[in-house]
Amino acid sequence: MRIVKLHNWPILMDDCCSLLNQEWPRSKTARIHSLSKSSDYFPMCLCLIDDGDNNSIIKLETNSNGDPLDKPIGQLIGHVKVSRGSLEGEAYIESLIICKSRRGQGLGSQFMVSIEQFIKSIGFTSITLHTIDASNFYSKLGYSLITTIEALGPASVNIIAGETKTQSKFNQNTNQLIVTNHQQGTSSKLSIDCPLPPPPPSNPITNRPVIKQEKIVMNKRLT
Ligand SMILES: CC(C)(COP(=O)(O)OP(=O)(O)OC[C@H]1O[C@@H](n2cnc3c(N)ncnc32)[C@H](O)[C@@H]1OP(=O)(O)O)[C@@H](O)C(=O)NCCC(=O)NCCS
């Protein structure tokens, strides 16, 4: 097993994109755009590679050797993104993932321990992260809860749209436009002389379910 920097191994870009998109679907273009920002100066995307040596010690590759574009380097099984945090000495990690078929074997924990050693070795003194449902995983690794943030998912747009939503319908038999205000539960009729143009397509956002999420902020001091 080893950990490599994505920007040293661009050949991994597509696999990394698929791995992340299986868990957090996003357009490939947006995902590649975000991953391609990986650099030695942060944000830095680190990839866990199974190179088949059955060695359970996960090492961080310090520099790439050979031509990264030519050399097949093993199977990508994990990823994490490391950025600078907003506080002095603080690193921020996100998008930690282990591929589905390899979860529950201790790899996520080993990966995190190696990442922490690396982060500490380059001068950071703490790590902060947000999680929605993996707080138990992180608390087992020594992370403490800092605070929780209540956030609305995509459906918050739904609520906002619903507040102001009015709907117009033209009745061809009576030549009347019926305007319904869903918020107030009222409707009014307007008589008009000519038919209206067709309405615009309905907004798919309004069909999304309401999601209320609680984000948990956790932190660990690197001693
Ligand atoms: C979270 C994740 C990286 C853990 O990787 P893993 O290799 O399965 O974890 P490990 O096998 O090292 O698990 C270590 C311990 O954490 C627990 N754990 C693992 N995933 C957990 C989760 N999502 N929530 C709570 N506890 C979890 C395990 O049960 C295990 O407990 P044990 O030591 O008592 O048996 C992996 O499940 C994953 O990729 N999940 C999807 C993406 C995700 O949620 N990432 C976190 C974003 S903040």
* Residue-level pLDDT at 5: 93
Listed by start position, the domains of the chain span: 2-153+217-221, 156-207
Say which CATH topology domain 2-153+217-221 has: Aminopeptidase (3.40.630)
Ligand 1: does its nearest atom lie under 6 Å from the Cβ of 134?
A: yes
Ligand 1: does its nearest atom lie under 6 Å from the Cβ of 107?
A: yes
Q: What are phi and psi of 201, to 5 degrees?
A: -60, 150
pTM of the model: 0.78
Closest among 114, 117, 106, 115 to 140, alpha carbons compared = 106
* Residue-level pLDDT at 174: 72
* pLDDT tens digit at each of 223 positions of the chain: 899 999 999 999 999 999 999 999 999 999 999 999 999 999 999 999 998 876 566 778 766 555 555 566 789 999 999 999 999 999 999 999 999 999 999 999 999 999 999 999 999 999 999 999 999 999 999 999 999 988 765 433 333 333 345 556 666 677 666 666 555 666 666 565 555 567 666 665 555 566 677 899 999 999 8
Ligand 1: does its nearest atom lie under 6 Å from the Cβ of 212?
A: no
Ligand 1: does its nearest atom lie under 6 Å from the Cβ of 105?
A: yes
* Residue-level pLDDT at 67: 56
Pair of tokens at residue 220: 């660990």
CA of 139 to the centre of ligand 1 (A): 11
Ligand 1: does its nearest atom lie under 6 Å from the Cβ of 104?
A: yes
57 to 1, 8, 54, 104, 121: CA distances (angstroms): 7, 21, 9, 17, 17
**Contact in structure between 177 and 194 (CB atoms under 8 Å):** no
d(CA 181, CA 196): 19
Task: For residue 43, say if its preceding peptide bond is cis, omega within 30 degrees of 0.
Answer: yes
Q: Which atom of ligand 1 is nearest to the CA of 131?
A: 48
Interaxial angle between packed helices 13-23 and 28-35, expressed in degrees from 0 to 180 and rounded to the nearest 10? 120
* Residue-level pLDDT at 157: 32
Q: Which atom of ligand 1 is nearest to the CA of 78?
A: 39
